Structure 1
């Protein structure tokens, strides 16, 4: 079952040199680790590859990024232990813990623990300017919309959002790079992105095409927040070259996750490395601006790993006992 979940995910491992500032108990530490990310061309892959390398460099444990189908698959991989770490979004995390994941129906993924807050995932659409589509309500019936990899956050929620807005569409799946190529070639009409901004693939599209960043209206935002676990979000002007004013969107929080069986001291040190060097995290991806202590309380779904909880409580967080594994 695990192999069928993983598929043919690629694993890129990097060797690291020990860089611990002080001696810690390394009893039972893993000799290597992988971080489940998502498809190449998306924010998860860039962010996850970067923080895997950072932990490797600082703790001297070989680690790297693993290309996956995104948040839903990462929950499965981390639960089974096939990936020690990963990245997920609150919506997919909630349904996976409840045993409602489409990848493994009935399997309650309760061996997944929270590691640290990442950033919000805005939902917004992109079309070529030549399509004439400037608003969600202008998407023609039967349009081919790419929602990202099957089982990803975008694929889980964006189609339901389109249906709620009365938009008829043909569903297409694929990695962000692949969907970007299909949009340029006229094989699809719109991409519904759900990823931390700026999304690398959107910037690549802008480099050779005129594109429209399609925002939600205030009324559409209100409907989305009433139906789904999302909140209002403004994509700042200048995030993309073609975005001259803030764009309304809706968003969902992302958290890094770890297998609950990892040693407490290892997860504590990995948490310290990430949370105490935001400048390095910002070099990895600008979305890490929200990877800060103050956002620990954005997790209301995933129980904390004891090692991560120890770092956050030492720094002032108040985590209830029932939210620590």
Structure 2
């Protein structure tokens, strides 16, 4: 989390020891579910949380989680009021699909604002000789936390492509990176805002190959999983990538519990989306945190307070996509 602290210093936002909400009807404190160290949520969450804290006077606390799946469960239960999700996992939650939902439909979550795209890609040590996803058959592969988006989707994606690893391991991004360096993993696959912190760290510790998908892979995956879209990670994203990476991606959204008041959510969303330049100073993925990306959500109901702000700044939010 050191990177998050440095970023928050750039923002000029210190943690407030005692919060004083600007509206006495608002809560004094809110909790946000983030994710394990080594992924973007661990940095992005505190960045936008501090912007909200400054704008509202409400103290925002951050809870380390396994990622989107657990964030949804916690928001549904109101163990946290705020969280971050990828839209594929949110779709599973809304419909009660996917083994992790156990058939439960999570209908108390609401979309707040678009965050950034999450491209799926990976790394392997150069000495392994692994240069493409197809070579992962029979290998030991790490995919991040079990409850995260890559932990949920990569096993399904590799199975769909017919690249079946000998072992799939789960853990935090930083843990996966360490296992890769120690030779316990042949490859580390992840999905997060780019540059993925754990990937950037790994390429400073030794020579790595970046793993992406073939055009045929992308076609198969987008047909099998409509929530995925084709994309590219620019070669300049990582210091040693040396080429553009062909990927599939999934957009991320901030979510909140439906019980949050409309005026509070309006001020939160306004604070984040109207200060994009400040957010980008902290984390590169913030460059995509734009009101115009609200269209990336086609199914998860927006909170009425969020819809109000998005409409004020010119976004078309259908009535059937707003739910109190």
Give TM-score scaled by structure 2 length: 0.91
Does the 8 A contact of 2:123 with 2:189 survive in 1? yes
- CA root-mean-square deviation: 1.7
Report the counterpart of residue 4 of structure 1 in structure 2. none
User: Following the alignment from structure 2 to structure 1, what is the Cα–Cα distance between the partners of residues 107 and 134?
Assistant: 40
Are 1:144 and 2:140 matched, yes or no?
yes
- The 1:262/1:151 distance shift into structure 2, 3 A limit, reads same
- The 1:19/1:318 distance shift into structure 2, 3 A limit, reads farther
Match of 1:84 among 71, 81, 84: 81
Pairwise CA distance, 1:307: 0.6
Alignment map for 1:101-180 (pairs within 5 Å):
101-139=98-136, 141-169=137-165, 170-180=167-177
Pairwise CA distance, 1:183: 0.4
Report the counterpart of residue 203 of structure 2 in structure 1. 206
Does the 8 A contact of 2:55 with 2:267 survive in 1? no
Does the 8 A contact of 2:145 with 2:170 survive in 1? yes
User: Following the alignment from structure 1 to structure 2, what is the Cα–Cα distance between the partners of residues 109 and 31?
Assistant: 26
Does the 8 A contact of 2:118 with 2:249 survive in 1? yes
Report the counterpart of residue 8 of structure 1 in structure 2. none
Alignment map for 1:178-193 (pairs within 5 Å):
178-193=175-190
Segment of structure 1 superposing worse, 122-131 or 54-63: 54-63
- 1:252-309 C-alpha deviation (Å, 9 max, x unpaired): 0110101110011111000010000001110121111110111111101210001101
User: Following the alignment from structure 1 to structure 2, what is the Cα–Cα distance between the partners of residues 165 and 38?
Assistant: 28
| Number of residues of Structure 1 aligned to a counterpart in Structure 2 | 308
Match of 2:25 among 22, 28, 38: 28
Report the counterpart of residue 280 of structure 2 in structure 1. 282
**Corresponding residue SS for 1:310:** helix
Pairwise CA distance, 1:245: 1.7
Does the 8 A contact of 1:17 with 1:60 survive in 2? no
**Corresponding residue SS for 2:236:** coil
User: Following the alignment from structure 1 to structure 2, what is the Cα–Cα distance between the partners of residues 322 and 58?
Assistant: 29
- 1:191-246 C-alpha deviation (Å, 9 max, x unpaired): 11111110111111111110000111111111111111211110011111111221
User: Following the alignment from structure 1 to structure 2, what is the Cα–Cα distance between the partners of residues 239 and 210?
Assistant: 16
Give TM-score scaled by structure 1 length: 0.91
Are 1:93 and 2:94 matched, yes or no?
no
Are 1:15 and 2:13 matched, yes or no?
no
- 1:111-168 C-alpha deviation (Å, 9 max, x unpaired): 10000001110000110001000111222x3211111101211011111111112112
Does the 8 A contact of 1:74 with 1:86 survive in 2? yes
Match of 2:313 among 312, 315, 322: 315
Does the 8 A contact of 1:90 with 1:301 survive in 2? no
Pairwise CA distance, 1:18: 7.3
